[in-house]
């Protein structure tokens, strides 16, 4: 029996949206924006398909998706903000954040934080995690919210529209996404290997990876 990671995620999204409706769309986007790997590139087109069917109103779907993204983003921002004082003490073996990295992140967000947040909301995967460093760098919350909204609005609208255009061809997306299972598994394996090598002090933290010096 074959098992598809992406296919299972798609089935979950389809079930939640079909069974719960707009509150389900809100909940899924909250979870996705917080960083749980539920792809908005699946959630939004299927919601658009339901709009095309007349199940969801367009304005209601867009409002639920945008509000959910904002709630999830601010929840992730709050985690980064409140945990800053603990970040430097968290670590296993060689996997530990250098205070200089936090200082560099502060300077970066002070200069380019607004544009970084806005543009990151347009990039799959990255859009779900930019809130954490923004909170850790203590980016002003009003600016964070404004630029988050500026970035996510065109993204949400575009993918909802994609679902409206696809209509009955929605089911073809699941088959297309199945090819990414190997990409997902390879990425997870690579990250796990990197973390293991850093923890065991075989490589030095950073990019590109460098072999640790003996002793």
| pTM for the model | 0.75
- Mean pLDDT (whole number) for 160-166: 88
CA-to-CA distance for 46 and 66, rounded, in angstroms? 15
- Mean pLDDT (whole number) for 40-67: 92
Neighbours of 123 (CB within 10 A): 12
Task: With respect to residue 198, please indicate whether it lies within any of the assigned structural domains.
Answer: no
DSSP state at residue 194 = H
Task: With respect to residue 200, please indicate whether it lies within any of the assigned structural domains.
Answer: no
Residue with the bigger pLDDT between 84 and 188: it is 84
Query: Measured over all CA atoms, what is the biggest interatomic distance in the chain, rounded to whole angstroms?
Result: 66
Q: Is the dihedral of CA 69, 103, 115, 187 positive or negative?
A: negative
Task: With respect to residue 103, please indicate whether it lies within any of the assigned structural domains.
Answer: yes
CA-to-CA distance for 23 and 30, rounded, in angstroms? 11
Q: What is the pLDDT of residue 2?
A: 42
Q: What is the pLDDT of residue 1?
A: 36
Distances (CA, A) of 205 to 130, 134, 194: 21, 22, 9
CA-to-CA distance for 40 and 3, rounded, in angstroms? 21
Task: With respect to residue 132, please indicate whether it lies within any of the assigned structural domains.
Answer: yes
CA-to-CA distance for 180 and 102, rounded, in angstroms? 33
Is the predicted pLDDT of residue 211 greater than 50, yes or no?
Answer: yes
CA-to-CA distance for 165 and 71, rounded, in angstroms? 28
Task: With respect to residue 66, please indicate whether it lies within any of the assigned structural domains.
Answer: yes
Is the predicted pLDDT of residue 121 greater than 80, yes or no?
Answer: yes
Task: With respect to residue 210, please indicate whether it lies within any of the assigned structural domains.
Answer: no
**Please, are residues 210 and 100 in contact by the beta-carbon 8 Å criterion?**
no
Task: Find the range with the poorest average confidence among 106-110, 179-183, 200-204.
Answer: 179-183
Q: How many domains does the chain have?
A: 1
Task: With respect to residue 139, please indicate whether it lies within any of the assigned structural domains.
Answer: yes
Q: Is the dihedral of CA 155, 131, 119, 209 positive or negative?
A: negative
Q: Which helix (H) or strand (E) holds 91?
A: strand 91-92
Helix, strand or coil, per DSSP, at residue 121: coil
Q: What is the pLDDT of residue 141?
A: 93
Residue with the bigger pLDDT between 154 and 209: it is 154
CA-to-CA distance for 45 and 106, rounded, in angstroms? 36
Task: Find the range with the poorest average confidence among 8-12, 31-35, 89-93, 166-170.
Answer: 89-93
Task: With respect to residue 194, please indicate whether it lies within any of the assigned structural domains.
Answer: no
**Please, are residues 74 and 145 in contact by the beta-carbon 8 Å criterion?**
yes
Residue 10 is part of which domain span? 5-180
């Amino acid at each position: 029996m074959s098992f598809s990671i992406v296919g299972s995620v798609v089935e979950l999204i389809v079930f939640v949206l079909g069974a719960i409706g707009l509150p389900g769309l809100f909940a899924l986007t909250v979870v996705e924006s917080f960083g749980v790997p539920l792809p908005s590139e699946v959630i939004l087109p299927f919601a658009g398909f339901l709009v095309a069917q007349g199940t969801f109103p367009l304005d209601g779907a867009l409002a639920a998706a945008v509000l959910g993204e904002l709630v999830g983003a601010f929840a992730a921002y709050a985690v980064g903000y409140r945990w800053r004082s603990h970040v430097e003490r968290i670590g296993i073996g060689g996997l530990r954040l250098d205070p200089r990295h936090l200082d560099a992140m502060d300077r970066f967000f002070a200069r380019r934080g607004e544009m970084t947040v806005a543009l990151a909301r347009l990039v799959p995967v990255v859009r779900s995690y930019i809130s954490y460093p923004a909170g850790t760098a203590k980016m002003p919350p009003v600016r964070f919210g404004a630029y988050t909204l500026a970035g996510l609005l065109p993204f949400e609208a575009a993918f909802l529209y994609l679902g409206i255009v696809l209509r009955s061809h929605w089911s073809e997306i699941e088959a297309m996404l199945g090819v990414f299972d190997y990409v997902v598994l390879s990425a997870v394996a690579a990250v796990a290997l990197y973390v293991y090598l850093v923890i065991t002090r075989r490589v030095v933290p950073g990019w590109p990876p460098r072999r640790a010096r003996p002793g």
